[in-house]
């Protein structure tokens, strides 16, 4: 007798632990029930993916959903719209948004907002939240990191947007000494950043990589790795921007993982600043083509473990302020998939490597329970893409309230066609389907 499922994903090229091949997937109760099912199987819903590739659901492990222009109570909802339109099924949100996520009460508030319990519609994608480390809450972090919906602790060792900062070795050592989960780090040396302010050229964004120097990134990464060894704590170094950090990180794979962003892998100074001005400003900075090539090589060599978007939008009005008054940060969650699929199309990485960076990598690094793979028993999260589709990324496509993207005008090959989360079609062919029903991501270390 033919099997019956809730959902069948039919006719697509599935990319998973077995490689890539034509397989139909059967889904029951929001989980993958069988891969390679019979053509005679039936389901309440069948999604035709003929000519498309079915990837594990893409996980963006670094977003800042502050969404300027949207009411504070709606920032998680509007940010999650951008995520699912871009093929992203789950996000990890940073603590330097309003309110700062540094206490159990703030974490509970974020989870309530994400669930739609605070006077708005909730999040369309699944989600987790970082706890921000401070000098005051270091001893509480061991308990805070184990709360439901928490993906880990985040340290800002260099000042960026927001008020969170632990820049001294004593403070970082105290944070690392309390808890056991991997700690994410914004790695720029605050002491050198303060000295770098003397290199500001008013109104000249090309000075941004000099103000926040290569040396500031390298020195901070060396410091945090030394402290990680001393305390026996695993760390995850975010948004690597320099080629100089790669050999340092390669020598520390026993304790450290590393992230790159599509911006640092795609844009290059000084041209990006000359063309985009404040829209190219982020922390750490986009650097020259030599550093970009070093990061691309680090992808090829396996030193970079994950790609995150560092989605951090600001309004065009804010970005138009003369440097250095203009704020740092770019939207990116919606463009992560098409920009990186274009890197695949142009031969800079394989599709399997892309899947490793945005699906398998997050699963390994953060010990995610039931996400990041297409395997029986896992959540039925799929990012469905058309590798042959050519489109131009435009400001108009951006669902973020900021209404712009640094990749405006970029022609790409490869496009997200569908976002399926726990067996439910959330986005298809550019349209969001149904209400927000995102849930907290679960982690093996906190079950």
Average pLDDT over residues 324-333: 97
Q: Which residues contact 190 (CB under 8 A, 6 or more apart)?
A: 157, 158, 159, 165, 167
Give the DSSP H/E element, type plus range, for residue 22: strand 19-22
What's the CA gap between 431 and 85, in Å, rounded? Answer: 7
Q: What is the pLDDT of residue 66?
A: 86
**pLDDT tens for residues 141-179?**
999 999 999 999 999 999 876 678 999 999 999 999 999
**pLDDT tens for residues 207-235?**
999 999 999 999 999 999 999 999 999 99
Cis peptide before 99 (omega within 30 of 0): yes
Q: What is the pLDDT of residue 99?
A: 77
Average pLDDT over residues 260-284: 98
Whole-number percent of the chain with pLDDT over 70: 99
Q: Is 113 exposed, middle or buried (0-12, 13-18, 19+ CB in 10 A)?
A: buried
Average pLDDT over residues 98-112: 92
Q: What is the pLDDT of residue 161?
A: 66
Q: Is 444 exposed, middle or buried (0-12, 13-18, 19+ CB in 10 A)?
A: exposed
What's the CA gap between 207 and 299, in Å, rounded? Answer: 27
Q: Structural domain boundaries of the chain?
A: 4-54+378-432, 57-366
What's the CA gap between 340 and 169, in Å, rounded? Answer: 36
What's the CA gap between 30 and 167, in Å, rounded? Answer: 43
**pLDDT tens for residues 52-74?**
999 999 999 999 998 787 776 67
Full DSSP string of 300-338: HHT---EE---B----HHHHTSPTTSSPP-B--TTTHHH
Q: Is 193 exposed, middle or buried (0-12, 13-18, 19+ CB in 10 A)?
A: buried
Q: What is the pLDDT of residue 162?
A: 66
Q: What does the longest C-alpha to C-alpha distance in the chain come to?
A: 75
Whole-number percent of the chain with pLDDT over 90: 94
Give the DSSP H/E element, type plus range, for residue 142: helix 141-144
Q: What is the pLDDT of residue 15?
A: 98
Closest CA to 307 of 375, 256, 362: 362
Give the CATH class of 57-366.
alpha beta
**pLDDT tens for residues 243-254?**
999 999 999 999
Q: What is the pLDDT of residue 416?
A: 98
Q: Is the per-residue pLDDT at 441 higher than 70?
A: yes
Question: Residue 349 in contact with residue 299, Cβ under 8 Å?
Answer: yes
**pLDDT tens for residues 77-90?**
999 999 999 999 99
Q: Is the per-residue pLDDT at 1 higher than 90?
A: no
- Nearest 5°: the CA angle 156, 247, 95 is 15
Query: What is the pTM (predicted TM-score) of this model?
Result: 0.98
Both tokens of residue 347? 């031969």
Q: Which residues contact 315 (CB under 8 A, 6 or more apart)?
A: 68, 69, 402
**pLDDT tens for residues 279-296?**
999 999 999 999 999 999
Task: Name beta bridge partners: 58.
Answer: 88
At 190, the pLDDT band (50, 70, 90 cuts) reads very high
Q: Is the per-residue pLDDT at 119 higher than 80?
A: no
Q: What is the pLDDT of residue 54?
A: 98
Measured CA to CA in angstroms, residue 403 lies from 33, 120, 229, 316, 399 at distances of 40, 21, 43, 8, 7
Query: Where does 4-54+378-432 sit in CATH, by number?
Result: 2.30.40.10
Average pLDDT over residues 297-307: 98
Question: Residue 401 in contact with residue 312, Cβ under 8 Å?
Answer: no
């Amino acid at each position: 007798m033919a099997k019956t499922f809730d959902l069948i994903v039919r006719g697509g090229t599935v990319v998973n632990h077995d490689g890539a091949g034509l397989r139909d997937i059967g889904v029951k109760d929001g989980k993958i029930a069988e891969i390679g099912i019979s053509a005679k199987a039936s389901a309440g819903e069948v999604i035709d993916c003929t000519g498309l590739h079915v990837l594990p659901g893409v996980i963006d492990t670094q977003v800042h959903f502050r969404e300027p222009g949207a009411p504070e109570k709606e920032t998680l909802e509007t940010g999650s719209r951008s995520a699912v339109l871009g093929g992203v099924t789950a996000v990890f949100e940073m603590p330097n948004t309003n309110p700062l996520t540094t206490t159990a009460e703030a974490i509970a508030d974020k989870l309530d907002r994400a669930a739609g319990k605070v006077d708005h519609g909730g999040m369309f994608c699944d989600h987790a939240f970082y706890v921000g480390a401070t000098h005051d809450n270091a001893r509480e972090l061991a308990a805070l990191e184990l709360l439901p919906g928490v993906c880990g602790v985040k340290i800002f060792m260099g000042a960026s947007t927001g008020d969170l900062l632990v820049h001294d070795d004593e403070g970082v050592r105290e944070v690392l000494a309390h808890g056991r989960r991997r700690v994410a780090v914004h790695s720029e040396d605050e002491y050198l950043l303060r000295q770098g302010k003397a290199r500001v050229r008013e109104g000249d964004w090309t000075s941004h990589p000099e103000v926040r120097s290569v040396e500031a990134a390298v020195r901070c990464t060396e410091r945090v790795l030394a402290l990680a060894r001393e305390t026996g704590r695993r760390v995850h170094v975010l948004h690597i921007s320099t080629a100089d950090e790669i050999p340092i990180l390669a020598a520390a794979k026993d304790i450290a993982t590393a992230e790159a962003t599509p911006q640092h892998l795609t844009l290059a100074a000084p041209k990006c600043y000359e063309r985009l001005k404040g829209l190219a400003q982020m922390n750490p900075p986009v650097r020259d083509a030599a550093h970009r090539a070093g990061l691309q090589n680090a992808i090829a060599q396996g030193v970079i473990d994950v790609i995150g978007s560092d989605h951090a939008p600001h309004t065009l009005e804010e970005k138009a302020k003369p440097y250095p008054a203009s704020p740092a940060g770019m939207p990116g969650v919606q463009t992560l998939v098409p920009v990186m699929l274009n890197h695949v199309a142009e031969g800079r990485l394989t599709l399997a490597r892309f899947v490793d960076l945005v699906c398998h990598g997050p699963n390994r690094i953060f010990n995610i329970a039931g996400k990041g793979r297409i395997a029986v028993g896992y959540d039925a999260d799929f990012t469905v893409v058309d590798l042959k589709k050519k489109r131009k990324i435009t400001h108009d496509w951006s669902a973020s309230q900021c209404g712009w993207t640094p990749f405006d005008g970029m022609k790409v090959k490869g496009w997200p066609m569908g976002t399926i989360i726990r067996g439910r079609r959330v986005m298809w062919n550019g349209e969001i389907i149904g209400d927000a029903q995102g849930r907290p991501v679960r982690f093996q270390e906190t079950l």
